[in-house]
C-alpha cells in the first residue's frame, strides 16, 4: 500500500465539471484547491485548456480553458508542493493556446485522447514537454479500443514522446479486475520508460476496487475525485484512495472538511454516483451520455423511472 513512486491526482473540478458545464464559482474552486494542497495530494487537475472557440467562457465558466491569469489568481498566496495540472483533449485543443512554462503556474499537461487520435495527442504532449511542462497521455474509452490499435498507440507513445505517464481510462465504467490486470500488463510491456496511470469511472461500483487492482499490478499514477464527483456515476473517491494508501505524508482531514463544506451541498444541483441508468450503461459498455439524459429527466417522472424500457433501448432489444 505504501510505495514512494505512487502519485495521486485529484480531478474533482475537471471531471466534476462535466456534470455542470464547469460552472463552479471561483471561490469554490479555490477552496477545493487549497484543501487538496493541504492534504498533500501530489497533483491537482483544475480543468481544461481547450479551445475557447469550442468552449466559450460565457457558457462554460473559467474552467474549460483555465487561462493563466485566472490560475495565477487562484493559486496566489497558497504555499504548497502540490503540482497544478490542466487537461487538453486531443480533438478539442490548440497547441498554441499553451504558453511556455516560464509564463504559467501550471506544472503538468494531461492530454486526453481516443486511440484513433493518438497522433494528435502526441503532437500536443510534445508541444507541452518542449515548452517545459510535464505531460501525460490519457487513452480514453479503453474498453472500446481494439488490441492492434492499442498496441500500435502504446508503441508510439514509448518511442515518440517524453511523457511521464500513460493512462488507461475506463470512460464507460465497464472494466472488471481481470480487464485491469490485462491492460496494465499490456501497458507495461510497451512502456518501458513511462509510468502507468489509471482513471476509473464508477458505473458498476468498481472505480475504487479497480484502482486497488491497478496499484497491486504496479500502476503508480492514480486518479480520484472528492466524494467521487465526476461524470455520470463519478470516479474513484479520493478520500477512499488516500485512506487505502497509508502514506504518512497525506492528511485526510482537509479532504473530509471540504467534502462537508463544498461537495455535499452540490448534490442539490448535480446528481452523480451509482444509479440504475448509469449501471446499465456500464454493464453494456456504452457511453454514459444516454444515461445522463435519463437522469436529467424530471425527477420522479415515468421516463426517469422506467428502467426496463431504458435497458431494452440501450441493449438494442424491442420493447
pLDDT, position 56: 85
- Choice between 3 and 135, residue whose per-residue pLDDT is larger: 135
Cα gap 199→171, rounded to integer Å? 8
pLDDT, position 2: 77
pLDDT, position 319: 45
pLDDT, position 58: 85
Q: What is the mean pLDDT of the chain?
A: 95
Flag whether pLDDT at 317 surpasses 60. no
Identify the band that residue 164 occupies on the pLDDT scale cut at 50, 70 and 90: very high
Please give the average per-residue pLDDT across 283-301, as a whole number.
86
Beta pairing, strands 108-113 & 134-139: parallel
Cα gap 310→319, rounded to integer Å? 9
pTM of the entire structure?
A: 0.96
Residues whose CB is less than 8 angstroms from the CB of residue 203 and which lie 6 or more positions away in sequence, other chains included: 172, 173, 174, 232, 233, 274, 278, 279, 281, 282, 283, 288
Cα gap 313→298, rounded to integer Å? 19
Write the pLDDT tens digit of every residue in 9-27: 999 999 999 999 999 999 9
pLDDT, position 299: 59
Flag whether pLDDT at 155 surpasses 80. yes
Produce one character per residue of 262-284: b if its CB has 16 or more CB atoms within 10 Å, e if not. Answer: bbeebeeeeebbbbbbbbbbbbe
Identify the band that residue 318 occupies on the pLDDT scale cut at 50, 70 and 90: very low
- Choice between 1 and 243, residue whose per-residue pLDDT is larger: 243
pLDDT, position 296: 84
Cα gap 229→235, rounded to integer Å? 6
Helix (H, G, I), strand (E, B) or coil at 106: coil
pLDDT, position 303: 65
pLDDT-above-90 percentage for the chain = 90
Domains by residue range for the chain, with CATH: 7-268 (3.20.20.70), 276-315 (no CATH)
pLDDT, position 304: 65
Please give the average per-residue pLDDT across 276-293, as a whole number.
96
pLDDT, position 298: 59
Produce one character per residue of 141-158: b if its CB has 16 or more CB atoms within 10 Å, e if not. Answer: bbbebeeeebeebbebbb
| No. of helices (H) and no. of strands (E), the chain | 14, 8
* Alpha helices by DSSP H, 161-268: 177-190, 207-216, 238-245, 253-258
Flag whether pLDDT at 135 surpasses 80. yes
Amino acid at each position: 500500500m505504501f510505495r514512494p513512486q505512487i502519485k495521486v491526482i485529484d480531478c474533482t473540478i475537471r471531471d466534476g465539471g462535466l456534470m455542470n458545464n464547469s460552472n463552479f464559482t471561483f471561490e469554490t474552486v479555490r477552496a477545493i484547491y487549497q484543501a487538496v494542497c493541504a492534504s498533500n495530494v501530489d497533483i491537482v487537475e483544475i480543468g481544461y485548456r481547450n479551445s475557447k472557440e469550442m468552449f466559450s467562457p460565457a457558457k462554460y465558466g473559467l474552467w474549460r480553458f483555465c487561462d493563466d491569469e485566472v490560475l495565477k489568481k487562484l493559486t496566489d498566496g497558497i504555499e504548497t508542493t502540490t503540482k497544478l495540472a490542466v487537461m487538453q483533449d486531443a480533438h478539442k485543443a490548440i497547441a498554441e493556446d499553451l504558453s511556455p512554462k516560464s509564463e504559467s503556474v501550471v506544472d503538468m499537461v494531461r492530454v486526453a485522447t481516443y486511440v484513433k487520435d493518438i497522433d494528435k495527442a502526441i503532437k500536443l504532449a510534445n508541444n507541452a514537454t518542449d515548452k517545459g511542462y510535464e505531460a501525460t497521455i490519457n487513452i480514453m474509452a479503453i474498453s472500446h479500443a481494439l488490441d492492434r490499435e492499442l498496441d500500435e498507440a502504446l508503441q508510439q507513445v514509448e518511442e515518440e514522446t517524453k511523457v511521464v505517464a500513460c493512462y488507461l481510462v475506463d470512460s464507460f465504467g465497464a472494466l472488471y479486475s481481470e480487464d485491469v490486470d490485462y491492460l496494465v500488463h499490456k501497458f507495461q510491456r510497451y512502456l518501458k520508460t513511462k509510468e502507468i496511470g489509471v482513471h476509473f469511472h464508477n458505473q458498476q461500483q468498481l472505480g475504487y476496487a479497480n484502482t486497488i487492482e491497478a496499484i497491486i499490478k504496479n500502476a503508480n499514477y492514480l486518479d480520484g475525485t472528492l466524494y467521487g464527483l465526476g461524470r455520470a456515476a463519478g470516479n474513484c473517491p479520493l478520500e477512499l484512495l488516500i485512506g487505502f494508501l497509508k502514506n504518512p505524508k497525506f492528511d485526510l482531514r482537509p479532504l473530509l472538511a471540504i467534502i462537508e463544506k463544498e461537495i455535499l451541498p452540490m448534490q442539490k444541483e448535480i446528481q452523480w454516483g451509482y444509479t440504475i441508468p448509469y449501471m446499465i450503461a456500464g454493464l453494456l459498455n456504452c457511453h454514459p451520455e444516454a444515461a445522463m439524459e435519463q437522469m436529467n429527466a424530471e425527477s420522479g417522472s415515468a421516463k426517469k423511472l422506467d428502467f426496463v424500457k431504458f435497458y431494452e433501448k440501450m441493449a438494442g432489444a424491442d420493447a
